Amino acid sequence: MDAKEMERNEFEGPPDDGVAISVRNLRVRYGEREVLHGISFDVKTGETMVILGGSGSGKSTLLRALMGLEKPAGGEIWIGGKNMCCVSVRDMAELRKKLGVSFQGGALFGSMTVGENVGLPLREHTPLDDSTIEVMVRLKLEEVGLSGYENFIPAQLSGGMKKRAAVARALAMDPEILFFDEPSAGLDPIIAAGIDDLILKLKKAFKMTIVVVTHELASAFLIADRMILVDKGNIIAIGTVEELRSSQHPRVRQFLDRVPEPEVSEDEGFLDRLTENLHL
Amino acid sequence: MPVTETVGQATIDGLAYLGDLTILTGRSLHAIAIAPFQGQRLRVQRAIHQAMAVGVGAVPILSLISFFIGTILALQSAYELRRFGAMGFVASAVALSMTRELGPLMTAIVVIGRSGSAFAAEIGTMKVNEEIDALETMALDPVHFLVAPKFLAMALMLPCLTTWSDFMGVIGGSVFGVGAAGFTFVSYIHATLSSLVIHDIVTGLIKSVMFGMVITAVGCQEGLSTGLGAEQVGRSTTSAVVKSIFLVVAVDLIFTLLFYFTASR
């Protein structure tokens, strides 16, 4: 389904049951520059939504807004029955305990061991004692294939292992929604495939809602239930993998078929641009 | 841009920066003094760890610097005092200078170089690596988690370090006093203690606490406002040191004026 075929009515109140995330007319600005131009979409409970887009398309900004790290200039983001755009600090904190985030570089705390990183949310937000936390940390590391690495510091881990440790930390509080920011970025194909397998495993075992931002097509097609294609701050396509694959929208085809931007040849202006402000 | 606009913009930017520092300090003090009574625990372990790094780690270099400063002060004051045959006042000159001014100021400068820059670098690197974002997404306030323990550590350690600096300065002065000014060690210490009143020591310690708050606020604010990339971390660290030194001296001036005009003698 292309974005033009989606008709969204003006939205008032929380979304229906069965919808984990609901975004309505989301606008985000950096200074004077608007990066997202009134985006609207839903993510159903238990589905894996992949947000695709090229560099500078706004997909990372969209993810940051969903995680509550960017304050929107307009629109609404409903998660857990609360509108994130105007929720109190206390309610935002409670909401964030239900979310898990795996950042692009892992964002593990360098001064802590892997075990301390994974156990941090439990130590800060639960009354569990140290022994129980240690057992839970081992369990989470087991789930991501990092058993025995509790006492390693992040600098001792490879890129793929850091990503796995970051996922383990994101899973610590058994979140309802899991966010991945470029999970395969910077990894070789074999390790990246391992991360895809991990996401599929989490999807199957825990049936949690997963939102993934990536520009890796192979990964996206493998893990997605539905996909969104973001281009220049707008959604140009949303639908299942097959719907996007069969889309005839020119920008969708250009992205999926990996067609580079055409070079615009302007003979007259070209030399002027090259020599602008130069004293020759 | 006309000069008036440049000056105006710089003034506005400066006031905005002071506002940011005040907000950060206020939030940290809330985390230390009020939040524990609202169910949010104070991270004492982190504060102790920071205090070890800020305080214990600075003792060797601060001892040396304070010792040298004390000797220099004794020499410089002796230059003039010997013209009046008043070498007996060398001990009090060193003691008053150290406790009222140079002890707190030199301690602050050493701590700026060691810890103020380290705070900016640590938090700046965390910002670049998205670790600050990670804290926020885990419902952990970066100010409560990272900044407040540093404030607590500084508030505890700066007065301790200043006291040690005062002591080492007096010892440094005593080397000259015993060696060339006709004192014995006991008479030098006796002259030192006779010249000091509690006001001299307390004003120095109050200044040291204020200096500690300035150093922490500036170091952490620079770290939290670091831009993207390693170069920006370097910029933040340099900026933290320069701004801390300036603001410490400005605060020193304010408090010295305050103590002067409120002194009873």
pLDDT tens-place string over residues A162-195: 999 999 999 999 999 999 999 888 888 888 888 8
Query: Would you call B126 and A121 a contact, using CB atoms and an 8 Å cutoff?
Result: no
- Give yes or no for residue A222 having a pLDDT over 60: yes
Q: With respect to residue B7, please indicate whether it lies within any of the assigned structural domains.
A: no
Model confidence over B35-60: pLDDT tens digits? 888 877 778 888 998 999 999 999 99
Say what the pLDDT of residue A254 is: 80
Q: What range defines the domain where residue B199 resides?
A: 44-262
A101 min Cα distance to partner chain B (Å) = 7
Model confidence over B157-166: pLDDT tens digits? 999 999 999 9
Say what the pLDDT of residue B43 is: 82
Within 8 A by CB and 6+ apart from A11, the residues are A22, A24, A25, A40, A76
How distant, in Å, are the alpha carbons of A133, B99, B258 from that of B262? 55, 18, 6
Cα–Cα nearest to A140, from A98, A113, A168, A159 = A168
Percent of chain B with pLDDT over 70: 99
Say what the pLDDT of residue A5 is: 40
Average pLDDT for chain A: 86
Contacts of B143 in chain A (CB under 8 A): none
Residues B32, B151: Cα–Cα separation, whole Å: 9
Contacts of B129 in chain A (CB under 8 A): 105, 107, 110
Disruptive mutation site among A87, A95, A101 for chain B (greatest number of B CBs within 10 Å): A101
Q: With respect to residue B156, please indicate whether it lies within any of the assigned structural domains.
A: yes
Query: Would you call A103 and B139 a contact, using CB atoms and an 8 Å cutoff?
Result: no
CB distance A134 to B172 below 8 Å: no
Q: With respect to residue B257, please indicate whether it lies within any of the assigned structural domains.
A: yes
B40 min Cα distance to partner chain A (Å) = 9
Residues A159, B7: Cα–Cα separation, whole Å: 48
Contacts of A120 in chain B (CB under 8 A): 138, 140
Q: With respect to residue B181, please indicate whether it lies within any of the assigned structural domains.
A: yes
Q: With respect to residue B12, please indicate whether it lies within any of the assigned structural domains.
A: no
Q: With respect to residue B182, please indicate whether it lies within any of the assigned structural domains.
A: yes
Contacts of B139 in chain A (CB under 8 A): 92-94, 96-97, 121, 124-125
Model confidence over B72-124: pLDDT tens digits? 999 999 988 889 888 889 999 999 999 999 999 999 999 999 999 999 999 99
Burial class for B24, CB neighbours closer than 10 Å (0-12, 13-18, 19+): buried
Residues B214, B248: Cα–Cα separation, whole Å: 7
Q: With respect to residue B87, please indicate whether it lies within any of the assigned structural domains.
A: yes
Greater pLDDT, A85 or B169? B169
Average pLDDT for chain B: 93
- Give yes or no for residue A120 having a pLDDT over 70: yes
* Total domains in the fold of chain B: 1
Query: Would you call B133 and A103 a contact, using CB atoms and an 8 Å cutoff?
Result: yes
Reported as a pLDDT band with limits 50, 70 and 90, residue A269 is confident
Please give the residue of chain A at the shortest CA–CA distance from B134: A107
Say what the pLDDT of residue A3 is: 46
Burial class for B165, CB neighbours closer than 10 Å (0-12, 13-18, 19+): buried
Within 8 A by CB and 6+ apart from A220, the residues are A50, A52, A212, A214, A227, A241
Reported as a pLDDT band with limits 50, 70 and 90, residue A278 is confident
Greater pLDDT, B1 or A33? A33
Q: For chain A, what are the domain ranges? A: 109-174
Model confidence over A236-248: pLDDT tens digits? 999 999 998 888 8
Residues A235, A39: Cα–Cα separation, whole Å: 7
